[in-house]
Amino acid sequence: MTATRQQVFGWLSEVPDPEIPVLSITDLGVIREVEVDNGITVHISPTYSGCPATEVIEQSVIEKLQEHGAEDIRIERSLSPPWTTDWISDEGRRKLREYGIAPPEDGAGKRALLDADRQIACPRCESVETQVVSEFGSTPCKASYRCEACLEPFEYFKCI
């Protein structure tokens, strides 16, 4: 089986994130590197060290590559540098908004975790008249918000 690095990235762009299936794992930015030599090595950076989806993502990567005929597959967890929401693609941010999740501020990174005055735009009406309901959402990487303009609840993908 012969594949190029670009082909492998293309195949991996078909693998959905198990927690937010409108995003692919490449949209999410967890695929750090792909090496194609005597096999395929995929370097994955978990969104955080305790993320319960990491093993599911790794298994999904193996299954996707096997679908395309790959046999010698290695998964390497890359913990340094740690994953950051800055690695979410522009396409991924657009998909989050369309799905009803406010994406993290572009370029904010971990600094935004300390910003109590941050303004989060509602993904439905784009108003910044929003209020945090809980710093804990349906997954550890999201917070629950409510829009004061359209009165809709929504989740915010926290900057990490």
pLDDT band at 150 (very low <50, low <70, confident <90, very high): very high
pLDDT band at 111 (very low <50, low <70, confident <90, very high): low
Over the stretch 64-96, which tens digit does the pLDDT of each residue have? 999 999 999 999 999 999 999 999 999 999 999
Least confident of 36-40, 106-110, 154-158: 106-110
Over the stretch 27-58, which tens digit does the pLDDT of each residue have? 999 999 999 998 999 999 999 888 889 999 99
Given 3.50.40.10, 3.30.420.40, 3.40.640.10, 3.30.300.130, which CATH number is that of 5-83?
A: 3.30.300.130
Q: Quote the pLDDT of residue 113.
A: 52
Give, for 153, the enclosing helix (H) or strand (E): strand 153-157
Give the number of other Cβ atoms within 10 Å of residue 52's Cβ: 11
What is the sign, positive or negative, of the torsion defined by CA atoms of 86, 109, 97, 28?
positive
Give the chain's mean pLDDT: 90
Sketch the domain layout of the chain as residue ranges.
5-83, 100-157
Residue, of 12 and 104, whose pLDDT is higher: 12
Do 27 and 91 form a contact (C-beta atoms < 8 A)? yes
How far, in Å, CA of 24 to CA of 15, rounded?
A: 5
pLDDT band at 14 (very low <50, low <70, confident <90, very high): very high
Angle at 146 between CA 160 and CA 23, to 5 degrees: 45
pTM: 0.84
Q: Quote the pLDDT of residue 114.
A: 54
How far, in Å, CA of 41 to CA of 134, rounded?
A: 39
Give the number of other Cβ atoms within 10 Å of residue 53's Cβ: 19
Q: Quote the pLDDT of residue 130.
A: 96
Provide the residue count of the chain. Answer: 160
Give percent of the chain above pLDDT 90: 75
Q: Quote the pLDDT of residue 52.
A: 84
Do 46 and 81 form a contact (C-beta atoms < 8 A)? no
